[in-house]
Amino acid sequence: MLEEGKTSEFGALMHEHWEHKKLRTKGMSNHQIDEWYELGLKNGALGGKLVGAGGGGFLLFMPETGTN
């Protein structure tokens, strides 16, 4: 999708993956991470994911790009 410039679709897919992973993997997220994720969505992110293991990770967001 990214190579084809379909950034909105890619962001939506990231969001779908986030929701499925939270259901599949208990403990993958917590209340604070969920709040940060929702804040990202409210500020223009189309989707995101938690990157990094062992408590040293970060949230990666796909922003609206305005190209499609």
Residue 2 lies in a domain: no
13: Cβ–Cβ under 8 A, 6 or more apart, which residues? 1, 47
Q: Tens of pLDDT along 25-34?
A: 888 888 999 9
Q: Could you tell me the CATH number of the domain that includes residue 23?
A: 3.30.70.890
Residue 68 lies in a domain: no
pTM score: 0.82
Count up the domains in the chain and report the number. Answer: 1
Q: Tens of pLDDT along 36-51?
A: 999 999 999 999 998 8
Domain that holds residue 43: 7-63
Work out the mean pLDDT of the chain and round it to a whole number. Answer: 88
pLDDT of res. 42:
96
